Chain A
Amino acid sequence: MLRYLLSKLLTFVPTFLGVTLVSFAFIRVLPGDPIIVMAGERGLTEERYAELQAQFGFDRPLYVQFWDYLTGVLQGDLGESFVTKKPVWDEFFSLFPATLELSIVAIILATALGIPAGVIAAMYRGKFFDRALMSSALVGYSMPIFWWALLLIIVFSGNLGWTPVSGRIDLLYFFPDVTGFMLIDSLLSGQKGAFASAVSHLVLPSIVLATIPLAVIARQTRSAMLEVLSEDYIRTARAKGLAPVRVNGLHALRNAMIPVVTVIGLSVGMLLAGAILTETIFSWPGIGKWMLDSIFRRDYPVVQGGLLLVAGFVMVVNLIVDLLYGLINPKIRKR
């Protein structure tokens, strides 16, 4: 296990360096000079321009700049936003809980509905339930989620008036940030109606974000279950006269879970990509919206730093999934 762990860590380091290099390179090839962009319409004198270039270190050789950037990254220094003048690192971590909360609720929703759907479909293979569930799954993973979000807004916010259209909570409520998770903070604040408001803001975005992972998990669970159900030990368990619930639930599902857990872990990248669209449509103040806004504002340090942190997050989660997978399935470690 230790060797497996070390080999995984060894591939992690060069990949992380590469990711840093890529996000560093992006800012140097973006069209438009960042300093001119910062100056805006007022313009700049030649001297001031040179001064600023020196201040940001743009006048030095690229490898020196990269080295500085890399050592900064390792110390948590990603530069400052051109627009807000706040450190990118701080901005990221003040917005990250919003994205994390949305993603966690979405993945719980996707898992809680996707696994039972897949198990039921496998148990009724070829029958009505299987067809109905798998057709819905097909629609789910073919869904343009930005359109899906608009439809839900038309029906639930427009026609029925059940849910708000944007934000995380009504402006009526104000309480201190304790955890950054609106659901928990609103409960801690003890204000009446705050929690309900937070929930009603969360419903539509989390449904939208959960749609594709839900469909993928349901399909994956079904095919893993079908594979396991054809194994000899399942036949043995049935022959012994075990109740179908016990056979399907205990024997089959447990072994079918291994690939499903991997899929859930690997859907983090999918969730973050989905978060860009979901957060933009629902004005959810998280990482996805922040990145998109920064791209439009040409706020280079934010684009650069955000890209790096998002990729770093995806890499860490994938590493953890890999390690867990090695832990559950000893066959993997040998390779």
Chain B
Amino acid sequence: MADATAQTAPTTPARPGRFKEFWRYFRENKGAVVGLYIFAAFLLLALFAGLIAPHDPLVQYRSATLVPPAWQEGGTWSYILGTDPLGRDMLSRLLYGARYSFVVGVVVVILASTGGILLGLISGFAPKWLDTFIMRLMDIILSFPALLLALVLVAILGPSLVNAMIAIAIAYQPHYVRLTRAAVIAERSKDYVISAKVAGARLPRLMFITVLPNCLAPIIVQAALSFSNAILDVAALGFLGMGAQPPTPEWGTMLAEAREFILRAWWVVTFPGLAILITVIAINLMGDGLRDALDPKLKRS
């Protein structure tokens, strides 16, 4: 056991250096930094939506339906981005919508990655039959297009935002299982793992403390990717009427409600989609930066 602690001891003081090194690489990618700023702004807007929003997102101003944005003729500064067909303030709804998108991203990533990492670790360390069984199970999930699988699952569980998140997380899980398993198999035969085993580390310790930290790089990149995909897919489910239900100001649901007005009121359609697009672009930019900074294969020497 003394040997194993000696092995892990030097890495502890190296941690801050590791983050610094990561930040140096991440900062080199200007797009990633821009993405990070936009994401931070999105996060702040979501957090403080209650303070910033000029109106209650659910209140219907019946005398002011389909008011155009302020800068257009007929617009007024009390509804900066206009109002929707029911007279609700677009800007306030969009700000509250950021909350839903953020929660969706976080919850889906946490659900999919915890399950996926656990199964991937088990698969990587398990005897061959269990490994094969888990991987076939993942193949089965992967055979269904993610959105279709989510649609059917939501139909079973009942349409709601929570069920949409669970369904999407199940559909994304196999990617984490495969990534973790591949990384575990690559690490398992390395000297430091064998020495930890010889020193008497038990399987759980071996899995979670010795091997897992060294497999995290591809998983973090995947997390960024599935964060943005989750926002897109949950919005798509909302758009199809199988995600968040009206009057929730979720961006996809807002688009679904606005659909019949597309030729009369461009703003009710344009802004929610733009909000989704900008958020997803920002997260994907960050994801590219993370990949450049964490993937040793692409690291400039």
Interface string of B201-239 (1 = CB under 8 A from A): 000000000000000000000000000100010011001
Whether the Cβ atoms of B235 and A144 lie closer than 8 Å is yes
Least CB distance from A139 to B in Å reads 6
Give CA–CA (A314, B149) in the complex, Å: 13
Interface string of B9-49 (1 = CB under 8 A from A): 00000000000000000000001000000000000000000
Residue B273 at the A interface, CB < 8 A?
A: yes
B276 nearest in chain A by CB position: A144
Contact of B262 among A26, A154, A312 (CB under 8 A): A154
> What A residues does B228 contact at CB under 8 A?
142
> What B residues does A158 contact at CB under 8 A?
262-263
Whether the Cβ atoms of B277 and A143 lie closer than 8 Å is yes
Whether the Cβ atoms of B145 and A269 lie closer than 8 Å is yes
B266 nearest in chain A by CB position: A154
> What B residues does A19 contact at CB under 8 A?
140, 143-144
A144 with B277, Cβ < 8 A, contacts A270-B145, A277-B236, A310-B145 known: yes
Interface string of A256-282 (1 = CB under 8 A from B): 000000000000011011001100100
- Complex interface: stretch among A67-75, A81-89, A145-153: A145-153
Residue B156 at the A interface, CB < 8 A?
A: yes
A142 with B281, Cβ < 8 A, contacts A18-B136, A280-B240 known: yes
Residue B158 at the A interface, CB < 8 A?
A: yes
Residue A307 at the B interface, CB < 8 A?
A: yes
Whether the Cβ atoms of B145 and A29 lie closer than 8 Å is no
Contact of A139 among B31, B235, B266, B277 (CB under 8 A): B277
Interface string of A1-27 (1 = CB under 8 A from B): 000000000010011001100100010
A277 with B143, Cβ < 8 A, contacts A154-B262, A154-B269 known: no
A147 with B148, Cβ < 8 A, contacts A11-B136, A154-B263 known: no
A20 nearest in chain B by CB position: B140
Looking at B31, B139, B259, B284, the one whose CB has the most chain A CB atoms below 10 A away is B139
Residue B255 at the A interface, CB < 8 A?
A: yes
Residue B152 at the A interface, CB < 8 A?
A: yes
Give the total of A residues in contact with B, Cβ under 8 Å.
44
Least CB distance from A292 to B in Å reads 7
Residue B151 at the A interface, CB < 8 A?
A: yes
> What A residues does B262 contact at CB under 8 A?
150, 153-154, 158
Interface string of B277-296 (1 = CB under 8 A from A): 10011001100000000000
Give CA–CA (A26, B149) in the complex, Å: 10
A138 with B281, Cβ < 8 A, contacts A144-B236, A307-B148 known: yes
Residue B185 at the A interface, CB < 8 A?
A: no
> What A residues does B142 contact at CB under 8 A?
269
> What A residues does B143 contact at CB under 8 A?
15, 19, 311-312, 314-315, 318
> What B residues does A151 contact at CB under 8 A?
269-270, 273
Interface string of B139-169 (1 = CB under 8 A from A): 1101111111001100110100000000000
Give the total of B residues in contact with A, Cβ under 8 Å.
41
Interface string of A281-313 (1 = CB under 8 A from B): 000000000011001101000010001001110
Q: Which of B121-147 contact A (CB under 8 A)?
A: 136-137, 139-140, 142-147
> What B residues does A273 contact at CB under 8 A?
145-148
Least CB distance from A283 to B in Å reads 12
Whether the Cβ atoms of A29 and B147 lie closer than 8 Å is no
A295 with B145, Cβ < 8 A, contacts A139-B281, A142-B281 known: no
Least CB distance from A322 to B in Å reads 12
Residue A31 at the B interface, CB < 8 A?
A: yes
Give CA–CA (A141, B285) in the complex, Å: 11
Residue A250 at the B interface, CB < 8 A?
A: no
Give CA–CA (A277, B237) in the complex, Å: 9
Complex A-B: 10 CB contacts under 8 Å: A14-B136, A15-B139, A29-B156, A31-B158, A144-B280, A147-B269, A151-B269, A277-B240, A295-B242, A303-B155
Binding site for A on B (CB under 8 A): 31, 136-137, 139-140, 142-148, 151-152, 155-156, 158, 228, 232, 235-236, 239-242, 252, 255, 259, 262-263, 266, 269-270, 272-273, 276-277, 280-281, 284-285
